[in-house]
Amino acid sequence: MIAGGNILKPDVENAEYILYIGAYPGHSGKPMQTIARQAAIRSSSGTLKFDVVDPVLAGGAVSPIGGNTQWIPIKPTTDSAFVMGMLYWMIDNNKINADFLSFPNLNAAKKKGFNSWTNAAHLVITDSEHPNKRKLLRAEDIGLAVPPAPEPDPKAATTTTPPQYFVVIDKATGKPALHSDSNEADLLFKGEVTDSSGKSIQVETSFMILKESIFKQDIAAYSKICGVPEATIIDIAKEFSSHGTKAAADGMGNTASSTGFDASMAQYLLTLMIGSMNKKGGVITRRNAYKSVAPGPRYDLANYPNKPKTSGINISRAGVPYEKTPEFKMRKAKGENPYPAKMPWHPVGSGSDNQAIFSIVNGYPYQAKILMFWMSNPLMTTPAAAREEVLKELKKAERVPLIIAVDAFMGESTSIADYIIPDTTPYESWAHANSEGNCPGKVLTVRWPVVEPMTGKISDNRYACFENYCIDVAKKIGIPGFGDQAIPGADKKLYPLNTPEDFFLRGIANVAYDGEPVPNISEDEIKLQDLETATKSWKNSLSTEEWPKALYVLARGGRFEDGAKAFVGDNHKYGFTGCFSLYVEKMAAALNSFTGKPFSGTLIYNEEAFADGTTLQQKYPQKEWPFQGVSYKAKFRSVSMLANTVLRDLNKTNSIEINPEDAASLKLKTGDKVKLISATGGEAVGILLVRQGVARGTVAVAFGYGHWEYGSRVQQAGDKKTGGEASIASGVLLSGISLVDPTVKGVFGFSEMSTGGPSRNGGAFRIEKA
């Protein structure tokens, strides 16, 4: 399964309808300027309709008075209930693309003009007696013959896992078949299949499991949970399912909650139900990039001689099933009940800086020795990390003996470092950035230094910066992959990595030669931009053959494929061609590390709950804690954008925002100084803003405010003082009082148990006059 918000985005240029669930086209999102332009042009010309389901009304291209858009307030953390209501109606009224869902493999989909496929018709073992219960039925479970495994490629760098064969009921024969052999499978099968010993096994399709989960409640019940009227849920379901494959669902920041997995699954299930995955006007992959820092056509920037193998357990406890840890095995061996674990382990997903912070402050699963910050400020940006109890621990030498920050600013995290290495800003530095989305073609932008860095010279032509720091430290302590013989070329020779340009220019050569190479730059263009002078000091980093193509890319700030060429017919060329899961076996097989209970493999609505399963409502009932918190990106700033005084002046501070009815019942008004109090301790004082654009029971706070460093305090280096601009610290940081989980010993930010996703949105809060 792949998460909805991560690699998929609506094709705004071609869609007829987009449902944004907790994402504002043009207010935020990636990249918000492109989305704003595309969404505004298309909706004002009447060719695109889009709705936003969000507890907070933001700016951007949405307007309550403009045409073709609608704001639908929702109760935070209940997105899956809203979507289950929509899916209920769509399934009940035959408004799903059942043909698409019946393709059990990519080839079957391709024959019918699609290029994505799902496991909707794959069978799942529901038999509670079967050793593989809750798993997808595989060929070996019923003794179905499979093709011989392909010979392993001796030249392959990594061992590939052999193909797996799942089982479907083939529509044509009515019999079990390999998923790869059937062109159309029975979507609605629920019954028994027989294994080779003649024993019957209870199975049903992924789709049936999903349907049963949805039909456990009705639309009225879902409406009650999410606070969106039943009629609105039905209207949106009708709209969403009446544009063929030219509709899409999206969302991103909304999934950062303790119910975020359900929210992202809900989102991509919507798209699958109408078959618009990988379709023009549907949902397409983002970050379709040319090869740069990769095994590329000119240089291999991912591998090098003597590359060390990493091993061990990720300190963040994320992407690691508890059952694979030494702690579990030891407790099991002693005959103890291994649950609950000492701290939560999150079996699904990947490493997490949010979770790493809580591992470090608890010294669990092991002691951190060196903590390094670069281009990240997790103390400010991780929910609950700015709490006093976290900061106090992190500053103790026994928690982390050495903290190194490489930064251009005195960020909050940088301020607790033992050593600060000065770093460059964008105009002074190199980068390869792929497009975040909203262009279907391949894109890679390249950034190169246009001014001399102001960080200080460390030797001839070399300046203090992150890359030089890494290079010099690696050489000193003998880490392979740096120095004169470091980067493998396509010609099998080894090239040096002694400077940032050695690395980035070789990446640019890869970009220039990826697929059909770019043309050579013309002499006129070189002269026009005086590229000769600009690149003079980097001459040795590329060959004379490579330079004219590298310059072609540099002069354009990257390489950009024409978006129209990224489609074949109405199929996206770079679509994800693996299986999209309606039933996520990995989730179904994973266990909650505190309760020992399995997660759901299908879409369900989970209430916000702590690690041990206690719901928030049980512990902090709404009567006492009437608000859930929501943080949203501020329109005119990013987390780190405070250094820009023009943007800072546009929105000097933020507010604690609530709905007029909530304000009336608290006898509060706009401008009142109020305390926002967190159910697990901690409070923030700010100014109240009462507005209609906030759902009832929600308190909204724009992110990016409430700094305590970043130039707000005076800092001294030698006898030089800097900073002291108090206005930088203005406003409230909601995540500074985000909930901790009282069912976990030590300090632990309230998180989702399956993935470790932090609870940025949701929780339990109270407001009082300050």
Ligand X SMILES: Nc1nc2c(c(=O)[nH]1)N[C@H]1C(S)=C(S)[C@@H](COP(=O)(O)OP(=O)(O)OC[C@H]3O[C@@H](n4cnc5c(=O)[nH]c(N)nc54)[C@H](O)[C@@H]3O)O[C@H]1N2
Q: What DSSP string runs through 446-477?
A: EE---S--SS-EEETTEE-SHHHHHHHHHHHH
Rounded Cα distance, 409 and 540, in Å: 32
Beta bridge pairs of residue 420: 405
Rounded Cα distance, 725 and 728, in Å: 6
Residue nearest to ligand X (CB): 253
- Give the interface size with ligand X as a residue count (CB under 6 A): 49
Rounded Cα distance, 19 and 86, in Å: 12
- Residue among 203 and 656 whose Cβ is closer to ligand X: 656
Residue of 34, 38, 292, 376 interacting with ligand X (CB under 6 A): 376
C-beta contacts of 68-75 below 8 A and 24+ residues apart: 68/43, 68/44, 69/43, 71/693, 72/228, 72/232, 72/236, 73/227, 73/228, 73/694, 73/695, 73/696, 73/698, 74/226, 74/227, 74/228, 74/695, 75/225, 75/226, 75/227, 75/628, 75/695, 75/697, 75/698
Q: How far is the CB of 35 from ligand X (least distance, A)?
A: 9
Question: How far is residue 479 from each of residues 153, 305, 473, 482, 483, measured CA to CA in Å?
Answer: 30, 11, 8, 7, 10
- Convert residues 436-465 into a mask of x (bound to ligand X by CB under 6 A) and - (unbound): ------------------------------
Q: How far is the CB of 255 from ligand X (least distance, A)?
A: 8
- Residue among 100 and 466 whose Cβ is closer to ligand X: 466
Should residue 581 be labelled a site residue for ligand X when binding is judged by CB under 6 A? no
Should residue 430 be labelled a site residue for ligand X when binding is judged by CB under 6 A? no
- CB under 6 A: which stretch of 108-116, 419-427, 474-482, 722-730 binds ligand X? 419-427
Rounded Cα distance, 697 and 662, in Å: 7
Should residue 632 be labelled a site residue for ligand X when binding is judged by CB under 6 A? yes
Rounded Cα distance, 471 and 436, in Å: 29
- Residue among 60 and 344 whose Cβ is closer to ligand X: 60
Should residue 51 be labelled a site residue for ligand X when binding is judged by CB under 6 A? no
Rounded Cα distance, 398 and 7, in Å: 39
C-beta contacts of 534-541 below 8 A and 24+ residues apart: 534/450, 537/461, 538/501, 538/505, 541/499, 541/501, 541/502, 541/505, 541/506
- CB under 6 A: which stretch of 152-160, 180-188, 534-542, 630-638 binds ligand X? 630-638
- Convert residues 633-662 into a mask of x (bound to ligand X by CB under 6 A) and - (unbound): xxx--xxx----------------------
Residue of 1, 8, 18, 21 interacting with ligand X (CB under 6 A): 21
Q: How far is the CB of 48 from ligand X (least distance, A)?
A: 17
- Residue among 303 and 645 whose Cβ is closer to ligand X: 645
Rounded Cα distance, 725 and 239, in Å: 50
- Residues 245-284 touching ligand X, rule: CB under 6 A, are 252-254, 257
Residue of 79, 393, 501, 502 interacting with ligand X (CB under 6 A): 79
Q: How far is the CB of 682 from ligand X (least distance, A)?
A: 14
Q: Is the dihedral of CA 592, 597, 599, 604 positive or negative?
A: negative
Should residue 377 be labelled a site residue for ligand X when binding is judged by CB under 6 A? yes
Q: How far is the CB of 285 from ligand X (least distance, A)?
A: 17
Should residue 56 be labelled a site residue for ligand X when binding is judged by CB under 6 A? yes
Q: Is the dihedral of CA 447, 452, 456, 459 positive or negative?
A: positive
- Convert residues 395-414 into a mask of x (bound to ligand X by CB under 6 A) and - (unbound): ------------xxx-x--x
- Convert residues 696-715 into a mask of x (bound to ligand X by CB under 6 A) and - (unbound): -------x------------
Q: Which residues bind ligand X (CB under 6 A)?
A: 21-24, 28-30, 32, 53-56, 58, 74, 76-77, 79, 252-254, 257, 375-378, 381, 383, 407-409, 411, 414, 423, 425-426, 630-635, 638-640, 703, 734-735, 760-761
